[in-house]
Amino acid sequence: MNDNLYALFESRFPADRSACCIETHTGQYYSWNDLHHATAKIANLLTSLNLPAGSRIAAHVEKSPEALMLYLATIRAGYVYLPLNIAYRAAEIDYFLKDAEPAVIVCSPGNFGWVAQSAFKSGTRHVFTLGEAHNGKNSGSLLQRAAHHADTFETAVKQPDDLAAILYTSGTTGRSKGAMLTHDNLASNAKVLQDYWQWQPGDVLLHSLPLFHIHGLFVAAHGALLNGSKMIFLPKFDSADVIKYLPRSTLFMGVPTYYVRLLADPSFNQEVCGNLRLFISGSAPLLTETFIDFRRRTGHTILERYGMTETAMLTSNPYAGERIGGTAGLPLPGVSVRVAKRDGVLCTAGGIGDIQVKGPNVFKGYWRMPGKTAEEFTPDGYFKTGDVGKFDAGGYLSIVGRSKDLIISGGYNVYPKEIESVIDEMAGVLESAVIGIPHPEFGEAVTAVIVSRPNAKISEAGIIASLKTKIANFKVPKRIFFLDDLPRNTMGKVQKNILREQYKNP
């Protein structure tokens, strides 16, 4: 038996392989045969380089069908895929190449000069370029070189525990770590999600997420590949393009920012969503207001789920059961999720503690960091997610925040999410972020950063006075600042580390 993830996908290809697998925004169509033959050519090119077993193949490329084919060819050939955010610049690429030591890096043609310098400095011998194909013509040296190779390839035999990919964590605190994900980690999660979200024959996924992140690659694309479903590929999220293609789609996955932007478009309505079966949100918390407004506007209830780079998906609101706004849903089948206090005692319903998880989806460890890996697991094998949360009486998990975002003020534990939820419900507030900043008396002072609605008349004094009637005094922010927008990473997560640095000396 071959446990190579590509072999699993191939076994689920539709019977008619001439059917469309990927349609692009420029009107190009790729069949399942095209996907299979193109990945074979790239896999043959990679194997012709005589790379050592387990070699890493790094990709610093724009989103395109060809970029997805590079990923599939890498795992098909038995190598380890290393996706890198296209926004990374030289200093960041230097670090990743030095740490992961990939044998090959593929970059966008426009970045070849400086990426090649980084590559050769770190010992990476092979540098290729990859741009999206136009009018059927290959773009970049990777596809030009692959064109001369055979379009058949015998998928490399892999064991369940063999590495398939390394994804680096965002590195908002300290050094970025490479999470090692195996073929079985990814296969088990994809199969669970296919069943839990009830993927159906004929489903069409509208794909507007980036491909360098677990959400766009291992949740969205894997789901379509495993189901033999067509993907409509957009290079990035654009509300006008999404609204254009939604009527031809049945599934859409996005980050909360996508849903906020759709709701801001007057042309987004129930009619546009008439063919949709499911909207899924993740990668950052969805505001309850967005959850409610979306249901009111479209008649659809967004399904929120929770996962992370090291574990893929962990919990999800149910497809058929009740989807509760502000929660991450129930533990997925086969995944054990618990909430524990710092002393190891498990929390009962309503108790806030550290979220710990175990299951076939949990990663193998951090690349070349055995000590750090050991620190992040409990003696009985649970991974410490670094998130803080609580279960309700029905077993639904709510994420309160990151443990590193916990504020200890005057000896009291303050959970930012609790305060943010109260502030976000106030008139005139669009959204908020609560952080702790150094304070000589309290250790940390609770501080709120607020984005107000257009023309709203709200003030620091007014917000503080209102909060004093709603929450305990030690939770009330000592200061409130106003911004036009909160800083976010590419997946829509608020970068509180930037806010803490910005306001540490108010």
- The DSSP annotation for 191-223 comes to HHHHHHTT--TT-EEEE-S-SSSHIIIIIIIHH
- Tell me 89's DSSP state: -
Domain limits, CATH 3.40.50.980, in the chain: 31-158
Report the distance separating Cα 84 and Cα 463, nearest Å: 41
Length of the chain: 506
Six token digits for residue 90: 């030289």
Which class for 320: exposed (0-12), middle (13-18), buried (19 or more C-beta within 10 A)?
A: exposed
- pLDDT given for residue 134 in this prediction: 61
This prediction's pTM: 0.88
The answer to whether the beta carbons of residues 259 and 288 sit under 8 Å apart is no
Q: What is the pLDDT of residue 481?
A: 96
CATH architecture of 196-402: 3-Layer(aba) Sandwich (3.40)
CA-based torsion, 296, 298, 301, 303: positive or negative: negative
What is the CATH architecture assignment of 31-158? 3-Layer(aba) Sandwich (3.40)
The phi-psi region of residue 44 (left if phi > 0; otherwise alpha if psi is between -120 and 50; otherwise beta) is alpha
Token pair of 76, please? 């098909």
Under CATH, which number does the domain 406-502 receive? Answer: 3.30.300.30
Q: How far apart are CA 381 and CA 390, in angstroms?
A: 20
pLDDT given at position 14: 97
In tens digits, the chain (506 residues) has pLDDT values of 999 999 999 999 999 999 999 999 999 999 999 999 999 999 999 999 999 999 999 999 999 999 999 999 999 999 999 999 888 888 889 999 999 999 999 999 999 999 999 999 999 999 999 986 665 566 899 999 999 999 999 999 999 999 999 999 864 445 789 999 999 999 999 999 999 999 999 999 999 999 999 999 999 999 999 999 999 999 999 999 999 999 999 999 999 889 989 999 999 999 999 999 999 999 888 888 899 999 999 999 999 999 999 999 999 999 999 999 999 999 999 999 999 998 889 999 999 999 999 999 999 999 999 999 999 999 999 999 999 999 999 999 999 888 888 888 877 778 888 899 899 999 999 999 999 998 877 788 999 999 999 999 999 999 999 999 988 888 899 999 999 999 998 778 899 989 999 998 76
